[in-house]
Amino acid sequence: MNLKKYENLKRENKDLINLNPLQTGGKLTGNAKKVLVEFGDGYAVYDLSPGLELMEVPLIKEFINEALPKFLGADIVRIILGAREGIFNVMHSITKPGDTILVDANRHYTTITAAERANLTVVEVPNSGEPEYKINAEDYEYLIKKHKPAMILLTYPDGNYGNLPDAKKLGAIAKRHQVPYLISGAYAVGRMPISMREIGADFIIGSSQKSMASSGSIGVLGMDKKWEKIMLRKSKRYPKIEIEFLGSELRGTAIATLMASFPAVAERVNNWGKEVEKVQWFSKEMEKLGLKQAGDKPHKHDLLFFKADPFYKISLKHSRGRFFLYHELKKRGITGIKPGLTKHFKISTYGIPKEKLQHVINAFKEILDK
């Protein structure tokens, strides 16, 4: 077996305009790129302050105990391995096997796998169906009364339609019924302003490689201080060690990149209004081409879902079949729609300048006209 092939890994399409929702919010800042190389060696973060445990390094301590709680509107923050692991950490700590939990039907699949790993029964709050797929906060209330769930989860926004349900209204419902409430914010934290406290949630989760301009795999978990004893319960053998996080999930290179990008991330959420204006303009232009945007309208988030019948019709006759769209876009310097998708696809406009988005619209138009 030739092992040499592993040595020079290269990215495809790296310099194209990338519309992949998974990737638009994770691009490193210039500073984070430098830090990535500086701290690329395993456990190099220990060199920040030789001799100290990571949580005792003053810069890291301040970042986790002050900067992140303020950013998330939370009392306590822990670094997690990613959004899915954080969702599991909360489920595992605050529920018992066999409990029922309530989640929105637009949830990420990892919400379900986390619940399965924690041996929970999941009840889904349905969405409104075509074309908006809305989650109605009020719909939780009846199901809370019916199932007495151990916790409720709201995906804000969801990763299919980019819908932003009324999270605050659900916060009031959760308080009224005294049920723990988790905001699954992988596409919110780091992109848009969001405050766990204002929403009235008990927990908030972000995915740093997805939306906080960080290398993976890392995320943030914010919580209300009333959960401290349960979430941060300690080992019997090692009285300082937090069991749920197996000591610490803060270990590698990713935290260095998360910290280096953070000043820019904290700043960029203030430009959210501009991002929303841009996405609404983009959606209108795409609809002029005969595509249909599903989800909230007017849209309030950069993640868009399009039903694209005109492209689907072309794919039925094209020599490259359903892969034609990917190739035609690539020829025009655009990537991020999954190869083979034409009937419907997701794209994100986050952080992409309007001129480049105009180029994208022109490209779609050209492909249609051809």
Ligand X SMILES: *Cc1c(COP(=O)(O)O)cnc(C)c1O
What's the closest the beta carbon of residue 159 comes to ligand X, in angstroms?
Answer: 3
**Closer to ligand X by Cβ: residue 84 or 278:** 84
Cα angle at 129 between 360 and 108, to 5 degrees? 70
Residue (68 or 83) nearer to ligand X, CB? 83
CB of 301 to ligand X, least distance (A): 11
Which is closer to ligand X, CB of 57 or CB of 77? 77
Nearer to ligand X (CB atom), residue 184 or residue 315: 184
Minimum gap (Å) between residue 192 Cβ and ligand X: 14
Parallel/antiparallel/unpaired status of strands 17-18 and 334-335: parallel
Residue 220 CB, nearest approach to ligand X (Å): 10
Instruction: Give residues with Cβ within 8 angstroms of 314, minimum separation 6.
Output: 324, 325, 342, 367, 368
Nearer to ligand X, 18 or 155 (CB): 155
Shortest Cβ distance from residue 359 to ligand X (Å)? 27
Nearer to ligand X, 153 or 352 (CB): 153
Q: How far is the CB of 21 from ligand X (least distance, A)?
A: 8
Site residues (vs ligand X, CB under 6 A): 82-84, 108, 110, 155, 159, 184, 186-187, 207, 210, 219
Of 83 and 325, CB closest to ligand X = 83
Q: How far is the CB of 336 from ligand X (least distance, A)?
A: 15
